[in-house]
């Protein structure tokens, strides 16, 4: 009976995805074990280490449909690890005692770690596919709203104007960096393990490294330069990457949540009948995807810390930290896939209210561009005098609810230097966007170059 949100028949497709669940299923993991055992038999047969008829028999029997999972559960509970149970079942299936050559020279952790890396490889492919879609959605928003002015915010207060395209492009740039991180980490992480009891391949004598190289070639994994049974930075790096990437998704969900507030109302999650409704307040439109992204991204970060803890292992084969990975790594990928899926749905269907963005810019009666006024007056009055004068006028705006431009135009000290038309231009938020558009273009140019590559 399902007992967690990740395997619940009700919640599982909210917090994760079916494809990622498959990668970390018992069936897929066991299929990886069998692929490794089959590949090991093939390369050892080719190298003359085991008889060729043993290779053929082992390869023929290393099929996931041949595994009795009820029996494997009992074997794993008794032994403590699933590998020996899998090997015992294969050995029993082979004719003429040829199965005794299965798992020749290997140790449990060799198979377990290599299978984990195979799962990581498949899981990262799923992650990348979602990242590509999210990147495309952010690029579309960046381009479409390149010149759409809105309030930039600092400490939850209006700061100076930006554009919505600028906001989207800053997130797009982050995903471009995440894409580079993924590209860079693959060669470091997608490395198998085949090292024997204490990592020295002593069981295979002088043939050890030949077998290791051929096995990794067969599995299309990198060959380790040395055993990494208890040096777990590869797994930790994957966790940290996913923590960084989903933290950006958390940033997206946080901004959208805040911008969906009734008093702000600048963007909305995609609308579906009944989505985000309240059981008691019919007017409500709650940010549903944002809530799920926030929750899953938070748990990814917590589990990433667990993977780092698993890196503090003892000697050449550890007593416990390794098993942390068995729990934390699948959860990190499952939760990451949920965060990615919800983020893609959110961004691809995001509803943007440009008129409300403009209206919010005008909420402070022009004070959002007080910096522009101060900088414009600086050459005439000096920076400090300009600052103090604009500060006092802003206080008058608040006290009298009079637009900033009106008070500026009435001020004799200011009107000596700037006309009403110049002040109106200076206090239009759309005229104080800095180099936002050029920066958006730079990010989009990087995206276009990536698409051409």
DSSP 270: P
Same domain? For 157 and 264 the reply is yes
In a domain, 396, yes or no: yes
Question: What one-character-per-residue DSSP string does 156-204 give?
Answer: TEEEEEEEHHHHHHHHHHHHHHHHHHHHHHHHHHSB-----TTSS-GGG
Confidence check: pLDDT of 269 > 70:
yes
Q: Which of 152, 164, 166 is nearest to 354 (CA)?
A: 164
Residue-level pLDDT at 404: 94
CATH number of the domain to which 401 belongs? 1.10.40.30
Q: What percent of the chain has pLDDT over 70?
A: 97
In a domain, 5, yes or no: no
List of E strands, 41-121:
none
Same domain? For 210 and 237 the reply is no
Same domain? For 184 and 53 the reply is no
Same domain? For 208 and 249 the reply is no
In a domain, 115, yes or no: no
CATH number of the domain to which 35 belongs? 1.10.275.10
Same domain? For 447 and 395 the reply is no
In a domain, 6, yes or no: no
* Alpha-carbon gap, residue 116 to 232, rounded angstroms: 12
pLDDT tens digit sequence for 188-230 = 999 999 999 999 999 999 999 999 999 999 999 999 999 999 9
For 267, phi then psi, to 5°, come to -140, 160
* Alpha-carbon gap, residue 228 to 112, rounded angstroms: 12
Q: What is the pTM of this model?
A: 0.93
Same domain? For 313 and 452 the reply is yes
- Cβ of 288: how many Cβ atoms within 10 Å? 18
CATH number of the domain to which 160 belongs? 1.20.200.10
Taking residues 52-59, report their average pLDDT: 97
Q: Helix 26-46 vs helix 108-144: angle between axes, to the nearest 10 degrees?
A: 120
Same domain? For 135 and 33 the reply is no
Confidence check: pLDDT of 397 > 90:
yes
- Cβ of 408: how many Cβ atoms within 10 Å? 26
Confidence check: pLDDT of 393 > 60:
yes
pLDDT tens digit sequence for 302-344 = 999 999 999 999 999 998 899 999 999 999 999 999 999 999 9
Residue-level pLDDT at 3: 81
In a domain, 112, yes or no: no
Burial (Cβ within 10 Å: 0-12, 13-18, ≥19) of residue 435? exposed
In a domain, 4, yes or no: no
Confidence check: pLDDT of 71 > 80:
yes
* Alpha-carbon gap, residue 324 to 341, rounded angstroms: 26
Residue-level pLDDT at 2: 78
Q: Distance of CA 388 to CAs 220, 341, 408, 409, 425, Å?
A: 67, 50, 13, 17, 21
Taking residues 26-52, report their average pLDDT: 98
| DSSP-derived 3-state class of residue 151 | strand
Report how many domains make up the chain.
3
Task: Judge contact between 49 and 211, C-beta under 8 A.
Answer: yes
- Buried residues in 178-200 as b, exposed as e (16+ CB within 10 A): bbeebeebbeebbbbbbbbbebe
Residue-level pLDDT at 102: 97
pLDDT tier at 279, thresholds 50, 70, 90: low
pLDDT tier at 275, thresholds 50, 70, 90: low
DSSP 269: P
Residue owning tokens 């040829």? 98
* Alpha-carbon gap, residue 144 to 122, rounded angstroms: 34
pLDDT tier at 7, thresholds 50, 70, 90: confident
Same domain? For 238 and 147 the reply is yes
Residue-level pLDDT at 239: 98
Same domain? For 308 and 200 the reply is no
Residue-level pLDDT at 285: 78
Residue-level pLDDT at 284: 62
* Mean of pLDDT over the chain: 94
pLDDT tens digit sequence for 110-162 = 999 999 999 999 999 999 999 999 999 999 999 999 999 999 999 999 999 99
Confidence check: pLDDT of 280 > 70:
no
Same domain? For 140 and 37 the reply is no
In a domain, 298, yes or no: yes
pLDDT tier at 276, thresholds 50, 70, 90: low
Catalytic positions = 278, 317
Q: Which long-range contacts (CB under 8 A, 24 or more apart) does 85-94 make?
A: 86/30, 86/33, 86/34, 86/37, 87/37, 90/34, 90/37, 90/58, 90/61, 90/62, 90/66, 93/61, 93/66, 94/54, 94/57, 94/58, 94/61
In a domain, 397, yes or no: yes
Burial (Cβ within 10 Å: 0-12, 13-18, ≥19) of residue 254? middle
pLDDT tens digit sequence for 435-450 = 999 999 999 999 999 8
Same domain? For 237 and 335 the reply is yes
Q: Helix 436-452 vs helix 108-144: angle between axes, to the nearest 10 degrees?
A: 130
pLDDT tier at 453, thresholds 50, 70, 90: confident
Same domain? For 60 and 155 the reply is no
Q: Which of 145, 126, 116 is nearest to 16 (CA)?
A: 126
> Domain of 329?
121-193+228-269+284-362+435-453
């Amino acid at each position: 009976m399902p007992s967690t949100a990740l395997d619940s028949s009700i919640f599982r497709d909210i917090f994760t995805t079916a494809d990622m669940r498959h990668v970390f299923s018992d069936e897929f993991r066991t299929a990886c074990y069998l692929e490794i055992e089959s590949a090991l038999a093939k390369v050892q047969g080719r190298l003359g280490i085991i008889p060729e008829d043993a290779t053929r028999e082992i390869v023929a029997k290393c099929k996931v449909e041949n595994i009795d999972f009820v029996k494997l559960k009992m074997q794993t509970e008794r032994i403590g690890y699933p590998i020996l149970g899998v090997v015992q079942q294969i050995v029993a299936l082979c004719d003429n005692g040829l199965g005794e050559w299965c798992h020749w020279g290997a140790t449990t952790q060799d198979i377990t770690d290599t299978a984990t890396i195979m799962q990581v490889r498949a899981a990262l492919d799923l992650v990348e596919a979602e990242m590509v879609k999210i990147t495309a959605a952010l690029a579309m928003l960046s381009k479409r709203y390149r010149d759409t002015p809105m309030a930039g915010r600092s400490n939850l207060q209006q700061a100076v104007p930006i554009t919505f395209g600028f906001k989207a492009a800053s997130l797009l740039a982050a995903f471009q960096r995440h894409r580079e991180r993924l590209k860079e980490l693959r060669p470091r992480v997608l490395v198998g393990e085949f090292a024997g009891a204490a990592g020295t391949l002593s069981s295979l004598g002088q043939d050890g490294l030949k077998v290791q190289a051929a096995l990794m070639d067969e599995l299309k994994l990198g060959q380790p330069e040395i055993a990494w049974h208890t040096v777990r930075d590869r797994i930790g790096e994957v966790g940290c990457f996913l923590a960084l990437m989903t933290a950006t998704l958390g940033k997206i969900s946080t901004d959208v949540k805040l911008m969906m507030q009734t008093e702000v109302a600048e963007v909305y999650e995609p609308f579906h009948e009944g989505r985000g409704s309240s059981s008691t307040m019919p007017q409500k439109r709650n940010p549903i995807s944002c809530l799920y992204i926030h929750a899953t991204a938070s748990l990814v970060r917590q589990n990433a810390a667990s993977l780092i803890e698993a890196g503090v292992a003892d000697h050449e084969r550890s007593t416990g930290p390794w098993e942390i990975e068995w729990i934390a790594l699948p959860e990190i990928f499952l939760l990451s896939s949920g965060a990615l899926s919800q983020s893609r749905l959110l961004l691809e269907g995001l509803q943007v209210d440009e008129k409300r963005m403009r209206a919010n810019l005008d909420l402070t009666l022009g004070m959002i561009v007080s910096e522009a006024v101060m900088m414009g007056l600086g050459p005439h009055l000096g920076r400090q005098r300009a600052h103090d004068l604009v500060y006092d006028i802003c206080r008058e705006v608040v006290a009298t609810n009079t637009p900033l431009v009106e008070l500026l135009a009435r001020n004799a000290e200011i009107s000596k230097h700037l006309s009403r038309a110049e002040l109106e231009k200076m206090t239009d938020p759309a005229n104080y966007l800095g180099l936002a558009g050029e920066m958006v273009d730079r990010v989009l140019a990087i995206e276009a170059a990536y698409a051409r590559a």
